[in-house]
């Protein structure tokens, strides 16, 4: 008969009361106590009493900048982190701030600030540029005739003193390099012709000279209209323009755009306001009539004066009419008789 296997005795487990904890408090009672205490909590006051985070300063390093003096280290930019950023549940937002700062830096690099130059520095800089250009053109006009365009840049300056200096400089240059003949325009057939190197260089010089001189005369015409203006600065520029026109008409009356120069003088004489500019124009015409040998310039001036007198119903100053007494026509007839 097989032996009977022994069985282990298992004592019955003691069942704990339902919904009880180790301390003998039921879970239902614990939940009730939690809600009872939560009703008396002041969350806003606790938030205010919590120690606040001060603004955190975070340095952001920047790349060096290359200047004319070498590489220059930029000062590190300080990025302040406010309390709102620290408390935000979305994060501190440092990455967004860095991206915005980088975009601002790029915009600043694309639009550099133009340094402000004082009027005195503008005048000194203009004097140096005008003297350098004038010396180059005087040394070799045919080689450096293209430098005339740089003079026209200063003629549009906002500084009136620079404009007057530019007018006087161009006057001196044109008086020296203007040839003793009138330059005629080049036809289309002549442009197609094959020329030697020297002839091509001379033609290029003549055409650039005429173009630059034409722009100069037009600038004198615009400025001379302000003669006698209430704006003293504009009137001073007009005085210089009229003086330059008179000098050109007496020194190079044979050259191109002589009629434009005479128009400047006639336009000033049409105004009855007598001032130094008025007397200067009268003296210029008297000199032109007295020294004109072939009579072409005198005839052109007389035609323009007569048209002006007729348009104003002869309401002019008597000195304008007296300029006709200096025509060589009277002396020639007296000599022949």
Mean pLDDT of the chain: 79
pLDDT at 101 over 80: no
* Mean pLDDT of all residues in 284-308: 93
> Between residues 35 and 179, which one has the greater pLDDT?
179
Nearest alpha carbon to residue 241 among 226, 258, 257: 226
DSSP E strands, the chain: 56-60, 65-67, 70-72, 77-81
Range of lowest pLDDT (34-38, 186-190, 232-236, 308-312): 34-38
Confidence at residue 86, expressed as pLDDT on a 0 to 100 scale = 46
- The reply to whether the predicted model has a pTM over 0.75 is no
What's the pLDDT tens digit per position in 9-27? 555 554 545 555 555 556 6
Alpha helices in 39-118 (DSSP H): 43-49, 83-87, 94-110
What's the pLDDT tens digit per position in 37-64? 666 666 666 666 666 655 555 666 667 7
> Between residues 168 and 228, which one has the greater pLDDT?
168
Distance CA 222, CA 176 (A): 24
Q: What percent of the chain has pLDDT over 70?
A: 66
């Amino acid at each position: 008969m097989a032996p009977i296997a022994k069985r282990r005795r298992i004592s019955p487990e003691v069942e704990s009361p339902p919904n009880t904890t180790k301390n003998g408090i039921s879970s239902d009672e614990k939940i009730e106590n939690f809600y009872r205490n939560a009703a008396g909590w002041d969350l806003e006051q606790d938030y205010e009493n919590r120690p606040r985070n001060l603004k955190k300063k975070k340095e952001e390093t920047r790349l060096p900048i290359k200047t004319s003096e070498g590489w220059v280290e930029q000062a590190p930019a300080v990025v302040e982190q406010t309390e709102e950023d620290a408390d935000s549940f979305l994060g501190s937002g440092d990455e967004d701030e860095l991206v915005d700062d980088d975009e601002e830096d790029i915009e600043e690099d694309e639009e550099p600030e133009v340094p402000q130059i004082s009027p005195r520095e503008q005048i000194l800089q203009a004097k140096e540029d005008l003297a350098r250009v004038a010396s180059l053109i005087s040394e070799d006009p045919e080689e450096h005739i293209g430098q005339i365009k740089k003079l026209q840049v200063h003629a549009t300056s906002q500084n009136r003193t620079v404009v007057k200096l530019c007018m006087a400089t161009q006057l001196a240059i044109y008086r020296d390099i203007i040839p003793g003949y009138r330059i005629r325009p080049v036809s289309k057939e002549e442009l197609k012709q094959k020329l030697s190197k020297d002839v091509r260089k001379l033609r290029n010089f003549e055409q650039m000279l005429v173009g630059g001189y034409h722009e100069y005369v037009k600038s004198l015409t615009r400025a001379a209209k302000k003669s006698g203006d209430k704006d003293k600065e504009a009137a001073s520029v007009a005085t210089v323009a009229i003086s330059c026109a008179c000098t050109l008409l007496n020194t190079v009356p044979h050259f191109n755009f002589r009629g434009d120069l005479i128009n400047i003088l006639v336009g000033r004489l049409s105004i009855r306001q007598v001032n130094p500019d008025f007397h200067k124009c009268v003296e210029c015409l008297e000199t032109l009539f007295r020294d004109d040998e072939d009579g072409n310039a005198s005839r052109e001036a007389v035609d323009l004066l007569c048209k002006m007198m007729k348009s104003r119903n002869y309401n002019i100053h008597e000195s304008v009419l007296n300029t006709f007494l200096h025509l060589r026509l009277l002396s020639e007839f007296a000599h022949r008789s």
